[in-house]
């Protein structure tokens, strides 16, 4: 199916837009350096997906659903929706090879108020919170390694300090050029794949039990509570798959972006799907359902069951390497969104500046790191800090995911002659399925995580005050998404 998608051409790729605005939207011209090749682009996709999720979310998912069939269903649904959404992104990024990820697609499709709010929500709610969440898992597995080595738990304040230090260090590294960052992605993505492969191999070659896969296989009873449990579990499985669109954030730094970006999405996602299936199966082979429910360090617990304490220590190091690389990838990719927004006059003006030597958006990265640290400190006071962070941004993120997927429909009508090297498969039915599912998922999320969801919505809504204040006193936003007449301070 993936091969079919990538081989399917448009009727006429050479058709050009009728005005300068259209040409600027779809142009490949950029002031950034195109130093990321296909390998680096795939590495970014893999590096963005494989972070904390597969090593942290299986426990909370199993605690919610309570049986192996619904546990598997949660992962399958998330994987299928991810594939269909990636088909939409492949069309969008091949058509608009501009840095900034979903922001640039929304800017082309909708009035500027929607693109501004998406960027505002990404910065203040979802994307920086994701950086904080993965940095926290890096620190938690550091604490696991410390406990294995010393026999004593690491103080919670030390865990938070380690997470904060990780954000600060990797922000600094990414300020010194995308080439260095690209090398980091290659190295860490290779280690991620090798580490997960080793976990799968070790767990299945050691003594375990296939009886864990069916004890229990089904929930004790079926009802509305079962639907809510699966819906709540999807928050964590979706988070484990999140980041697959990461390469679109650095589209202007990718060589041959119309070809390499769509290919990297499908190859990266396909590889991760196989790894996730193997990792979850390996966990269940070693641990019964009851142990999975109680596990916050599931990879450590599975490896300890397989080969003892040395296994727990080794996987702790591997997870730390994985999450460390993921935080680096997120910092690299997401800062380009704030830079792109500021360049278009839709965000803080300073964020648009590019370092004269390293050609990197250092102001965007520095403020991104600071806000991620603020969110991490707030989450640290919660009992389940990691889950709280995910609950905080799930509803808000889904609103804008729907808008991004639907922008395929909008742009086909708005720019019918734009170059589309790839088209979303099963259009428009695939898009309708994704949107319908996301709407149902939002309803369940609002029911099962009401307070965190409302906090995310409230923080996003503050962007309206900023937007209208600036448009009233500093200039105005045009109705078709063009640059505003005076940039934000």
Structure token pair of residue 175:
């300020």
For residue 264, what are the domain limits? 2-473
Please indicate whether residue 425 or residue 63 has the higher confidence score (pLDDT). Answer: 63
Tens digit of each residue's pLDDT (9 = 90 or more) over 365-419: 899 999 999 999 988 877 778 888 899 989 999 998 999 999 999 999 998 888 8
Tens digit of each residue's pLDDT (9 = 90 or more) over 149-159: 888 889 989 99
Residue 68, in any domain of the structure: yes
Q: Are 324 and 140 in contact (CB under 8 A)?
A: no
Residue 165, in any domain of the structure: yes
Q: Would you say residue 282 has pLDDT above 90?
A: yes
Res. 65 pLDDT band, cuts 50 70 90: very high
| For residues 45-65, average pLDDT | 86
Tens digit of each residue's pLDDT (9 = 90 or more) over 241-259: 987 887 777 777 778 787 7
Please indicate whether residue 355 or residue 479 has the higher confidence score (pLDDT). Answer: 355
Residue 478, in any domain of the structure: no
Report how many domains make up the chain.
1
Closest listed residue to residue 268, CA positions, set 83, 72, 4: 83
Nearest 5°: the CA angle 26, 32, 34 is 85
b/e code 10-27 from CB counts within 10 Å (16+ = b): beeeeeebeeeebeebbe
Q: pTM of the full predicted structure?
A: 0.80
Residue 27, in any domain of the structure: yes
Q: What is the Cα–Cα distance from 92 to 86, expressed in whole angstroms?
A: 10
Largest CA distance in the chain: 69
Closest listed residue to residue 87, CA positions, set 238, 270, 255: 270
pLDDT attached to residue 442: 95
pLDDT attached to residue 315: 86
Tens digit of each residue's pLDDT (9 = 90 or more) over 317-326: 888 887 887 7
Structure token pair of residue 109:
């499709």
Residue 487, in any domain of the structure: no
Average pLDDT, the chain: 82
Res. 165 pLDDT band, cuts 50 70 90: very high
Please indicate whether residue 34 or residue 427 has the higher confidence score (pLDDT). Answer: 427
Residue 254, SS3 per DSSP: strand
Residue 155, in any domain of the structure: yes
Res. 31 pLDDT band, cuts 50 70 90: low
pLDDT attached to residue 379: 84
CATH of the domain at 72: 1.20.1740.10
Residue 95, in any domain of the structure: yes
pLDDT attached to residue 370: 93
Residue 486, in any domain of the structure: no
């Amino acid at each position: 199916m993936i091969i079919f998608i990538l081989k399917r051409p448009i009727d006429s790729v050479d058709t050009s837009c009728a005005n300068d605005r259209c040409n600027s939207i779809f142009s490949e011209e950029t002031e950034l350096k195109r130093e990321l090749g296909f390998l680096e682009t795939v590495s970014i996709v893999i590096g963005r997906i494989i972070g904390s999720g597969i090593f942290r979310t299986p426990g909370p998912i199993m605690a919610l659903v309570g049986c192996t069939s619904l546990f598997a269903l949660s992962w399958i649904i998330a994987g299928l929706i991810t594939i269909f959404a990636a088909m939409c992104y492949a069309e969008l990024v091949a058509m608009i090879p501009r840095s900034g990820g979903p922001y640039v697609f929304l800017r082309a499709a909708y009035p500027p108020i929607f693109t501004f709010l998406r960027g505002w929500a990404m910065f203040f709610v979802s994307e920086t919170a994701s950086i904080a969440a993965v940095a926290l898992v890096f620190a938690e597995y550091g604490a696991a390694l410390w406990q294995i080595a010393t026999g004593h738990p690491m103080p919670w304040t030390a865990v938070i300090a380690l997470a904060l230090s990780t954000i600060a260090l990797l922000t600094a590294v990414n300020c010194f050029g995308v080439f260095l960052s690209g090398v980091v992605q290659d190295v860490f993505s290779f280690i991620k794949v090798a580490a997960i492969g080793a976990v799968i191999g070790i767990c299945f070659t050691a003594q375990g039990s296939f009886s864990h896969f069916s004890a229990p296989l089904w929930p004790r009873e079926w009802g509305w509570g079962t639907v809510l449990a699966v819906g709540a579990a999807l928050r964590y499985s979706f988070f484990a798959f999140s980041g697959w669109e990461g390469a679109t954030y650095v589209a202007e730094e990718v060589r041959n972006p119309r070809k390499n970006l769509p290919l990297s999405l499908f190859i990266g996602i396909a590889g991760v799907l196989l790894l996730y299936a193997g990792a979850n199966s390996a966990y269940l082979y070693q641990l019964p359902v009851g142990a999975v429910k109680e596990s916050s360090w599931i990879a450590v617990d599975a490896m300890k069951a397989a080969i003892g304490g040395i296994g727990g220590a080794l996987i702790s190091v591997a997870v730390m390497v994985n999450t460390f690389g993921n935080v680096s990838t997120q910092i690299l990719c997401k800062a380009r969104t704030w830079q792109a927004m500021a360049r278009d006059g839709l965000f803080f003006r300073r964020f648009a500046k590019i370092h004269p030597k390293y050609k990197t958006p250092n102001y965007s990265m520095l403020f991104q790191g600071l806000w991620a640290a603020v969110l991490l400190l707030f989450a640290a006071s919660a009992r389940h800090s990691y889950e709280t962070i995910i609950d905080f941004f799930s509803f808000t993120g889904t609103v804008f995911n729907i808008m991004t997927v639907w922008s395929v429909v909008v742009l086909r009508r708005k720019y019918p002659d734009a170059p589309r090297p790839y088209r979303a498969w099963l259009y428009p039915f695939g898009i309708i399925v994704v949107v319908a599912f996301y709407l149902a998922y939002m309803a369940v999320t609002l029911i099962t995580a009401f307070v965190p969801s409302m906090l995310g919505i409230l923080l996003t809504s503050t962007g309206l005050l900023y937007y209208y204040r600036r448009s009233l006193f500093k200039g105005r936003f045009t109705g078709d998404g063009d640059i505003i007449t005076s940039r934000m301070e």
